Amino acid sequence: MTTKFSKTQIDRLGDRLRKGNLTDADFRLLDEYRRSFGEVYEIVVRAIRERLKLEPTGRPAKSTGSIVDKLHRESIRLSQVQDIAGCRIVVSDVKEQDRIVGLLLNVFPRASIVDRRVHTSFGYRAVHVIPRISGKLIEVQVRSLLQHSWAELSERVSDVFDPAIKYGVGNNMILKILMDNSERVKQIETMEDQILVASEDRLKLRVLQQEIIDTKKELVNHLNKLILIVEGREEKKV
């Protein structure tokens, strides 16, 4: 596998992306750079499909807008962006998430793990498994259903309001609702985990089940508040 680009060339492109006003030549170079991940991306996705019998959704190349956002908010160079290519797996719950992460580590034993359940990123929770092949990183996102719903909602709200919201900047009311709900997702998933341990203790089990129902209700109520704000904004734009 040969690389046609020097790091300097890519990082200079990153600087131009940060500044804006891109030329056709910049778009073509960025496109070529993203395509250079294709072979390694294929290896990773094929291994997940064939060896683990899982069906990830692949995203062979990060969009230009997302790359620009990332370069703006983090002081990193384009050559350091580690999610140029990747894929996503959504599973039922945390227990299944842990199982899938374990399986991925069997296939890619030297992959690095970023556990965003422990080190959340502005409320974002998930586990990222990142194999490095031929010097290129491919990000495999493993999300539980609740984590995924939160992430998609946060992205959608960021789209309409302000891309910076995803990164903890902007409308304080929206940020608070998102952060509080991320915490509720954590609480629900922790209690769901405890239910498995408490299955012998009927009283404890019932208490946990009720707490999950109550926390889910709170979650839904707060999401409804968020939706009213977002829909109000969307109506104004029409």
Partner 1 sequence: MIFLIEYDRRKGELITLKRFRDSDRLKAQNKRLEIELDLNHKGINHEVVLLEAAKEAMIRRTHRRYFETPRQIAKSVKAGK
- Region near partner 1 per CB under 8 A, out of 8-16, 63-71, 74-82, 106-114: 63-71
88 binds partner 1 (CB under 8 A): yes
147 and 125 Cβ atoms separated by less than 8 Å = yes
Residues pairing with 139 in the sheet: 86
Phi, psi of 5 (to 5 degrees): -115, 150
60 binds partner 1 (CB under 8 A): yes
114 binds partner 1 (CB under 8 A): no
Answer for which of 10, 157, 165, 177 binds partner 1 (CB under 8 A) is 157
Interacting positions 124-153 with partner 1 (CB under 8 A): 145-146, 148-149, 152-153
In this structure, the chain runs to a length of 238
54 vs 59: CA distance, rounded Å: 15
Return all residues near 76 (Cβ < 8 A) that are at least 6 apart: 70
167 vs 165: CA distance, rounded Å: 5
37 vs 42: CA distance, rounded Å: 9
- Region near partner 1 per CB under 8 A, out of 82-90, 102-110, 113-121, 127-135: 82-90
Residues found near partner 1 in the complex (CB under 8 A): 22, 24, 27-28, 31, 35, 45, 55-66, 88-90, 145-146, 148-149, 152-153, 155-157, 159-160, 163, 216, 219-220, 223-224, 226-227, 230-231, 234, 237
